[in-house]
Structure 1
């Protein structure tokens, strides 16, 4: 195609001859000079030709590029099509009525696509010509839905009526009209269209999406399943509790429930497994969320008594993870022993097993071997460390003595599947979407790394560089992905994982979406995140350093430890530290002994059990000091041959940097900034555009990305190109030199939230810092008077309203913030409601609502208050609400 400018627009055009067909499909692509497609429309366009055309007829297509990332396209996703919007019949193959053009007339066909139209709604065209109502909306041309979501109509227009303008309208069944945004569109004839041979017989206006002036905006609640509380749940929230939560959302006008990951995390069989992002299987669901009473309709009396006793014993203030999981499994085993055979012989189970056998059998076998070996460190399982399909088939056959244990695992997963699926379908019937969470990693001690070791780099860990959450960076302990290997089968593991997730969820959040651009990769010998590097990335070569006059590589790649630094770090104990852990390799300079020459080895320095508190405290200080010495380094060798190097992040803050020759400082600072801020934008953009479209194309779920932290400049354009929804946390602004974000300035393609599970709650944050609270009160909220010491319901209401009034497509609030709207539910100390502290690796994820969902459903004051906020912000309509409660 060739291009030229028409006013401010760049127009591409070409003339082609087409066969004598009634219809044909086509799409546009952006290609290189070598004819390689760099961008391709994903959806084909269908052109239906009027029967009145002859072989010599000229058809002019006036198209607009159909970007899959257009915000209007979001309404086609499962969150809307299958939950939030009322389902309506899918339409296809509808033909338009024929139009017979008169002399000196041209057929003009209008086409747009509109996912926002509900059953009974109309899409119309109003324009400046008589055929389009002459500007009278009551006389507009009504379009027909020919193929969901495409709407089309055609009229015959006299030549002298050109040019003319028009707009699309969406008219709801109750008569309300919504007009497309932007300027009216213009239809013109070619400047030389004076004869029949040069005048088009048909002008086809393919205008892409109906871009509403009032784009849909909604709201959501974020809460972990384990945090829910109902009268029937035991010890922790259960999948069945989601039904009551969906009822609450439906009553208030909230349209989405955002959850944390729900996969099995039983790695250590201790409370450490409460961390929901370290899954032992990306497919198996966690027994913690099992509803025991839903396992059978005919519960034996003694087992019912055990269930009632467990409910009384375990329903304390917070989740007792270990006791809840072990109790549920014990009681489920009793039920299975008496009635499980019936379930296993049912057609429903047989269908479930056949559909999930490829992951279910290895997972069940993994659970058996975990118990047999007493560890999930599968690399310690001898010959069973390297499984094959034949080995799995042999060890899961019915003749094995552990077959009953395998069957119990199948039974558990079958009922967990049924319960979550039932909750998802119930939520959809209430027009509430479920949003899941896709963790960035899996545990090293998982079924996935056992069965597919080629897909992971087990000698490394994932994490995050220093950020808002932790000045030492984070080390999550997950292996990094071998993307090169994953690409060989077109990322089949990822596609299967997403397909499995889509059974239950209408949307999902990509945890740490930056990991799909680049991951912070940390050597397995490290315990913090400071000594990591980006992958993929381009390290600095020895030649690079040489060009900058840097030649003493050992000085920069070994921890810089001097007697002065030791005294500053350990004080009077410096001599003892040297004697026990260091070697003086030249006067006044030290290196680590082999037994403590990594962060991981330092972390293993522990006192004997039963040692006095003073000794344990002293060793903790020693570990902290030795770790700081390890981190006092400038360059990190990429390989053992030491031919390429990564700059240590924030190297300018180290005492090693302060001590280098003054001439080197400028060069080292430049190398650092080049590596972290400039060197990789093209590389990371290309990597994300290879991986993220695979995830997004695997299902029709709505996709959001957690894009907090150190954001490269390449990230926003890629998210925009792919139509990915980002995250905005007010206390973590994406704008530079801003202390607080301004929700009124957020983009539409964002989720607006005052806090999240990785931060303290809004109430707790309010109480942490009086001076910051005061700045937030005046500057962010625009309030007057003296800020209260606690976040009152009135303050919380102001914060919630501010987020609801943002342009963001979704405003999602933690359950703690929703409950804080009522004075009834703020008696619990605010600091107890924090879900996670990212700075504490072994944090106990145990927060549970101190109020039952039944109580919230009965609280007409709170429901009415939330309804008022939703209606006032335009995030729901009065017709969306079952009954508008009055106060």
Structure 2
């Protein structure tokens, strides 16, 4: 049994230009669904019978991964766009590759600042991001519509403005805010010039009618976000989530006071949809699978939480426990899901997401697929990922603590702060820290007869949010370096103490407790008697490694099939991090490919062994959440020497080293080998001159990371480099991986 979902249909080629700019006949087929050489150009449909992909041989493909925003061409303005995606498809096809993998392309406009560059914080799980709008077709259509009219001159000037912006924003990295200003300004002016024609067109009416379930709420939400100056819909008074459906019904009417703004968002989404579908059709014509990315979460200030508040636990956040990405864990800020509420309509919200994405993509990466087994849930007052617990999970009950003599629950659940610990963290500033942030609670006599003072945090500092947002830990701009350093050390020490707990209480169930992850590393744990440590260690091991398996397995078997049953896409799951034993068999059972990153091995050891990967996986030397292979290779000489057993090891990741790494992954049994564009560019010296550390897309340890990486090589230059493309194609052939076309 092969791992993937059956893929279906060969669609029409890229749409030819129409006589009318809005003559946009609806597609009846989705993008390419065939994983193997195309045998005929006539449309056909494969009926899915058993849900699993079949091929005469063990098909193995390869592909390139890059965010759309990172693309660079002679026509792109400030960031890559959906037009550039067509050129990327050509690069992949010419290199003999069969997959183009992207990051999420959903709209993330919450703050109207560069914070919105984070592609996994969707403001809508359906709407596309205006950042990816290719401007030239809009300007040309508006100019043609204006022709000899009074707006013709203004539109000619607009075309010149776009050209100036294109050159001004041709920067090493994306200027997100400037690029968004230009794209929205151009879109609004083009809409003004074509508004009457566009809104009266059959294409517009059909698009609005067919996509109304998400488009109207999104457009109204966007208009209200602009009106109130915030996407935090709970601040909208009578227009909040309590009657969102009625608000949408009223404000989406053509006679509403906001319809002008609402319809402008129709216009932008129409063109984004049109451009991405064109790219998908081009990929199909070239035999390339376009692979999307399904984010696990949505922003709290989103259309979806506004329209469907019962589906979300808004007083919590999602994240990840401490792992290789971040030793402090991660707090993504998304609300967690109420799976019981979602199950009442057989997970219609999730099924709608998958069905909509199939409009553009032939394959899908499910971000953090572990979240469908269990999610790392954090209280709203946390900032880091340490004080979380898995949901769902079987808790430790009070009787279990009592049975082991652990009656001192408050001692286990409250931060353990002693005079010795204050001294160890703050030195001769311990008295200052105690006086400003703590209250004395008593004294404890230690085995040696000495007395230690115990403390608790003052109320205003007893949460991570309260502590980190307090004026007491802020320094003014221009403060001397010694003060900045001193304050940071104080903040770090206080956070350590705040997290110095062993058990976490369940706010909804006084009888339920959860072990704080890695509590054995805390001084709270080390200061306990041996018998108490032994009892708690047993409960910790049982909680994380034994009692949850059935619960997590059942949760995934309820939720994931709902997604799989409504799509013909090839589905892959990002299963990195703390992977429970139940995950691999469930993914295999459902035909979901797992992910293998060489520096994050699943089966022990320091490095993954690509030659041992299962067929039911996607393998890659790096990904967007890690440094590039070049940067990782060059960062640690000792690690590089150990890695030398797998590849040669000069000081720099020279082209022949990268070639060995790519060849190793191409030869793996994994059904798909995906390579970040940066890794493929490093195959030739002329493209590997940029400092390696500048090519990292994301830093997971920084919750406010600016996602602004751009490739330093234009797509046109890649296509012209026949030697580079030929080398990749040779590696594809050597690895036995088959391009879609001969």
Assess same fold via TM > 0.5.
yes
1:574 and 2:430 matched? yes
- The structure whose RCO (Cα within 8 Å, separation 6+) is larger is 2
Aligned partner (choices 149, 171, 180) of residue 316 of structure 1: 171
Aligned partner (choices 589, 608, 631) of residue 741 of structure 1: 608
Distance 1:329 1:769, change over 3 A: same
Deviation sequence 1:509-543 (CA, Å, 0-9, x none): 00000000000111111111111001000111110
Mapping 1:434-513, distance limit 5 Å: 434-513=290-369
Match of 1:33 in 2: none
Deviation sequence 1:523-570 (CA, Å, 0-9, x none): 111111111001000111110101111101111000000011111112
Q: Which range moved further: 666-675 or 380-389?
A: 380-389
Q: Which has the greater radius of gyration?
A: 1
CA distance in 1: counterparts of 2:721 and 2:623, whole angstroms: 25
Aligned partner (choices 302, 320, 323) of residue 157 of structure 2: 302
Match of 1:723 in 2: 591
Q: How far has the Cα of 1:400 moved from its partner?
A: 2.4
1:799 and 2:729 matched? no
Contact 2:223 2:261 survives alignment (8 Å): yes
Distance 1:767 1:550, change over 3 A: same
Report SS of the residue matched to 2:705: coil
Aligned partner (choices 542, 545, 566) of residue 677 of structure 1: 545
Q: How far has the Cα of 1:610 moved from its partner?
A: 3.4
CA distance in 2: counterparts of 1:809 and 1:77, whole angstroms: 15
CA distance in 1: counterparts of 2:339 and 2:653, whole angstroms: 46
Distance 1:665 1:83, change over 3 A: farther
Q: What is the RMSD computed on CA atoms of the aligned residues?
A: 2.2
Match of 1:382 in 2: 237
CA distance in 1: counterparts of 2:48 and 2:623, whole angstroms: 38
Greater fraction of residues in strand:
1
Contact 2:323 2:577 survives alignment (8 Å): yes
CA distance in 2: counterparts of 1:334 and 1:211, whole angstroms: 50
CA distance in 2: counterparts of 1:254 and 1:83, whole angstroms: 21
Distance 1:633 1:120, change over 3 A: closer
TM-score by length of 1: 0.76
Match of 2:62 in 1: 219
Aligned partner (choices 184, 195, 207) of residue 329 of structure 1: 184
Deviation sequence 1:177-217 (CA, Å, 0-9, x none): xxxxxxxxxxxxxxxxxxxxxxxxxxxxx9x99774x4110
Contact 2:64 2:676 survives alignment (8 Å): yes
CA distance in 2: counterparts of 1:272 and 1:400, whole angstroms: 32
Report SS of the residue matched to 2:243: coil
Q: How far has the Cα of 1:116 moved from its partner?
A: 6.5
Deviation sequence 1:199-245 (CA, Å, 0-9, x none): xxxxxxx9x99774x41100010000000011100000001101111
Q: How far has the Cα of 1:611 moved from its partner?
A: 5.3
Q: How far has the Cα of 1:115 moved from its partner?
A: 8.8
Match of 2:497 in 1: 629
Contact 2:413 2:502 survives alignment (8 Å): yes
Q: Which range moved further: 601-610 or 549-558?
A: 601-610
Aligned partner (choices 236, 253, 256) of residue 397 of structure 1: 253
Q: How far has the Cα of 1:83 moved from its partner?
A: 10
CA distance in 1: counterparts of 2:629 and 2:118, whole angstroms: 22
Aligned partner (choices 510, 514, 518) of residue 650 of structure 1: 518
Q: Please, which runs of 5 or more residues in structure 2 have no aligned partner? A: 14-33, 144-154, 444-452
CA distance in 2: counterparts of 1:272 and 1:625, whole angstroms: 28
Aligned partner (choices 50, 71, 86) of residue 2 of structure 2: 71
Greater fraction of residues in helix:
2
Deviation sequence 1:266-291 (CA, Å, 0-9, x none): 11111111000001111111000001
CA distance in 2: counterparts of 1:817 and 1:597, whole angstroms: 45
Q: Please, which runs of 5 or more residues in structure 1 have no aligned partner? A: 1-69, 85-113, 122-145, 152-205, 882-887
Deviation sequence 1:157-179 (CA, Å, 0-9, x none): xxxxxxxxxxxxxxxxxxxxxxx
CA distance in 1: counterparts of 2:327 and 2:408, whole angstroms: 29
- What count of residue pairs does the alignment treat as equivalent? 694
Report SS of the residue matched to 2:79: coil
TM-score by length of 2: 0.90
Mapping 1:537-548, distance limit 5 Å: 537-548=393-404
Distance 1:567 1:297, change over 3 A: same
Distance 1:568 1:298, change over 3 A: same
CA distance in 2: counterparts of 1:525 and 1:677, whole angstroms: 28
Mapping 1:681-692, distance limit 5 Å: 681-692=549-560
Aligned partner (choices 450, 467, 479) of residue 602 of structure 1: 467
1:789 and 2:651 matched? yes
Match of 1:106 in 2: none
CA distance in 2: counterparts of 1:820 and 1:490, whole angstroms: 46
